[in-house]
Amino acid sequence: MNESMLGKVAVVTGAGGGIGRDIALQLAQAGARVVVNDIGVSLSGEGSDAGPAAAVVAEICAAGGDAVANTDSIATREGAQRLIQQAVDSFGRIDCVVNNAGILRDRFFHKMSEEEWDAVMKVHLYGSFYTSRAAAGFFKEQGGGSFVHMTSTSGLVGNRAQANYAAAKMGIVGLSRTIAIDLQRSGVRSNCIAPFAWGRMVASVPITTDAQRLAAERKQQLMTPAKVAPLAVFLASDLAADVNGQVFAVRGNEIMLMSQPRPVKSVHQSEGWTVQSIAEHALPAVRSALTPLEETVDVFNWPPI
Taking CA atoms, 42 is separated from 14, 105, 244, in Å, by: 11, 11, 33
List of E strands, the chain: 9-13, 33-37, 67-70, 96-99, 145-150, 188-196, 247-251, 254-257
From 229, 216, 222, 220, select the one nearest 251 (Cα to Cα).
Answer: 222
| 165 catalytic residue (yes or no) | yes
Say which of 129, 147, 165, 198 is annotated catalytic: 165
What are the respective helix, strand and coil percentages of the chain, to the nearest 5? Answer: 50, 15, 35
Q: What's the CA gap between 304 and 215, in Å, rounded?
A: 6
**Sequential DSSP letters for 83-102:** HHHHHHHHHS---EEEE---
The catalytic site residues sit at 165
